[in-house]
Amino acid sequence: MNMIEIIEKKKLGNALTAEEIDFFVAGAATGSVPDYQLAALLMAIRLNGMNREETKLLTLAMTHSGDVVNLDAIPGIPVDKHSTGGVGDTTTLVLAPLVAACGVPVAKMSGRGLGHTGGTLDKLESIDGFSVSLTEEVFLKQVQSIGLAVIGQTANLAPADKTLYALRDVTSTVDSLPLIASSIVSKKLASGAKGIVLDVKTGAGALMHTTEDSIALAQSMVRIGCDAGRNMVALVTDMGEPLGSHVGNALEVKEAIDVLAGRTGGPLLTVALELGARMLVLGGAAKDVPEGKAKMEAALHSGAGLAKLKEMIVAQGGNPACCDDVSALPQAAVILPCPALESGYIASMDTVGLGNTAQAMGAGRRTKEDVIDPAVGFVMQVRIGDKVAAGEPLATVHAKNDASAREAIAAIQRCIHMSKEAVPPCKLIHAFVSSESVERL
């Protein structure tokens, strides 16, 4: 097989064969094809696309480029959920304990923050002592005994994706439907769950900015997952503004605990219940979405969800004190309000800018070696459509020092755009996508 001929073929807009795709993916996983040829093919795919068959072949080749976790030892139907990435998107920490409390095993491999988006592993590590690196054996035992574990991907999970993702990040080839779909679905197939609910974000803070592009991505991923024998569905949900009000690692853990303790709700809870209800359906614990939602709500109100989170924290070596007293979480040195500079309605937000602001404060990494400051970030006090007067708080910043707080305040003020005219609030759930249909909501 000749890599130059494969690049030439895709450059001219032709479809690649299974053998050609396998050769490329093996080259990415083993290093036998040099980065410059991988990058050239990635750009040809970005510009000329892939058909449905090619996208599926690419995904399956990437899935089998490393270990495929076998969850057969877990009783019941293990389910997983995956978000394409957002800001203030703490749904995993809310829904995973609730779903597990409803009797459906959650065996979840999560990621770290990427670019402007936060990562579940980084959030969990703000809990004193919590470990996200369990061996596969300990991971399976924990899911068998308490029905819930959240860990990092094992080292040899979809290694082709590790190479390709790193190249895409630095060659402007991230925003390609077949490349995103194959990257996400290969990792989900390799991590073993039988039922998978995808949360495809849409809007200013998402990889796909329009509802139609996000639905197309969701359809592509769901088709591949179902063709591969898994039960996969997707919700397209809004990322035109941060989902939860808290942005930052310990702050997002605090918000998840506040939700599970029944002290707060809002859009984060709404989306978590929608996703979780569908996980219960796929896991066989609910006959339909309304029943799933009712079970999730019952687990919330009884405190069973919070108790399950506590069990997971203890099982993974963490100090569960934060579940009873959120002030046990890391606290920032400087807490200051971010005032509105003018009066009006909140019209739109630069959600990527908000995510980048949290990252610059120390909540995310700019290089692989950066160490995260778990305490920093901000708490939004407004949502799109709210009316505010000049001087009223847009957010509260939690910073490591005064200089960082001042920079964050100015950045947040730039990211929140005001209008003199009234603005309607954002729609939260845009569509439900299954292998049979697209339901626009």
Give the nearest distance from C-beta 132 to ligand URA in angstroms.
17
Size of the site for Ca ion (CB under 5 A): 1
Q: Which positions from 206 through 245 interact with ligand URA, judged by CB under 6 A?
A: 207
Report CA Rg, the chain.
Answer: 21
Residue 10 a catalytic site member: no
Give the nearest distance from C-beta 114 to ligand URA in angstroms.
7
Structure tokens at 214: 């996000």
Only segment of 60-68, 178-186, 196-204, 217-225 that touches Ca ion (CB under 5 A): 60-68
CA distance 350 to 343: 18
The H or E element containing residue 231 is strand 231-238
Q: Where are the beta strands (DSSP E) in 78-184?
A: 79-83, 106-110, 148-152
- Distances 75 to 184, 282, 312 between C-alpha atoms, Å: 25, 14, 18
Structure tokens at 400: 């490591």
Binding at 85: pick from Ca ion, ligand URA, none (beta carbon under 5-8 Å per type) = ligand URA
Catalytic pick among 126, 183, 186, 245? 183
Only segment of 177-185, 337-345, 380-388, 408-416 that touches ligand URA (CB under 6 A): 177-185
Rounded to the nearest 5°, which phi and psi values hold at 259?
Answer: -65, -50
Residue 169 a catalytic site member: no
CA distance 83 to 77: 20
For 379-434, give the DSSP string: EE---TT-EE-TTSEEEEEEESSHHHHHHHHHHHHHHEEEESS--PPPPSEEEEE-
Residues in contact with 79: Cβ distance below 8 Å, sequence separation at least 6, in sequence order: 99, 104, 105, 106, 193, 194, 195, 196, 197, 279, 282, 283
Handedness of CA 350, 356, 362, 365 (dihedral sign): positive
Strand partners, 440: 431
Q: Of 61 and 184, which CB lies nearer to ligand URA in the complex structure?
A: 184
Residues in contact with 380: Cβ distance below 8 Å, sequence separation at least 6, in sequence order: 88, 241, 242, 245, 246, 247, 394, 395
Catalytic pick among 168, 194, 230, 278? 168
Binding at 118: pick from Ca ion, ligand URA, none (beta carbon under 5-8 Å per type) = none
Only segment of 137-145, 180-188, 312-320, 323-331 that touches ligand URA (CB under 6 A): 180-188
Burial class (CB in 10 A: 0-12, 13-18, 19+), 412: buried
Give the nearest distance from C-beta 408 to ligand URA in angstroms.
26
Among 351, 338, 419, CA closest to 386: 419
- State which of residues 67, 213, 291, 297 lies at the interface with Ca ion (CB under 5 A): 67
Q: Of 168 and 295, which CB lies nearer to ligand URA in the complex structure?
A: 168
Q: Based on the shown chain and the rule CB under 6 A, indicate whether residue 183 belongs to the binding site for ligand URA.
A: yes
Q: Of 47 and 155, which CB lies nearer to Ca ion in the complex structure?
A: 155
Residue 168 a catalytic site member: yes
Quick note: the x/- pattern for ligand URA over 75-114, rule CB under 6 A, is ---------xx-----------------------------
Binding at 67: pick from Ca ion, ligand URA, none (beta carbon under 5-8 Å per type) = Ca ion
Binding at 84: pick from Ca ion, ligand URA, none (beta carbon under 5-8 Å per type) = ligand URA
- Beta-strand relationship, 416-419 and 377-380: unpaired
Q: Of 136 and 291, which CB lies nearer to Ca ion in the complex structure?
A: 136
- Distances 127 to 15, 109, 150 between C-alpha atoms, Å: 48, 18, 13
Give the nearest distance from C-beta 45 to ligand URA in angstroms.
12
- State which of residues 21, 50, 109, 180 lies at the interface with ligand URA (CB under 6 A): 180
Are 371 and 113 in contact, with CB atoms under 8 Å apart?
Answer: no
Give the nearest distance from C-beta 436 to ligand URA in angstroms.
25
Catalytic pick among 10, 46, 56, 82? 82
Q: Of 84 and 245, which CB lies nearer to ligand URA in the complex structure?
A: 84
Q: Of 117 and 249, which CB lies nearer to ligand URA in the complex structure?
A: 117
Residue 386 a catalytic site member: no
Instruction: Determine the residue with CB nearest ligand URA.
Output: 183
SS3 149: strand
Rounded to the nearest 5°, which phi and psi values hold at 268?
Answer: -60, -45
Residues in contact with 432: Cβ distance below 8 Å, sequence separation at least 6, in sequence order: 233, 234, 235, 236, 438, 439, 441
- State which of residues 184, 235, 282, 315 lies at the interface with ligand URA (CB under 6 A): 184
Rounded to the nearest 5°, which phi and psi values hold at 47?
Answer: -85, -35
Residue 22 a catalytic site member: no
Q: Of 84 and 92, which CB lies nearer to ligand URA in the complex structure?
A: 84
Q: Of 67 and 297, which CB lies nearer to Ca ion in the complex structure?
A: 67
Quick note: the x/- pattern for Ca ion over 17-36, rule CB under 5 A, is --------------------
Binding site residues, Ca ion, CB under 5 A: 67
Catalytic positions, please?
A: 82, 161, 168, 183, 187
Chain positions contacting ligand URA, by CB under 6 A = 84-85, 165, 179-180, 183-184, 207
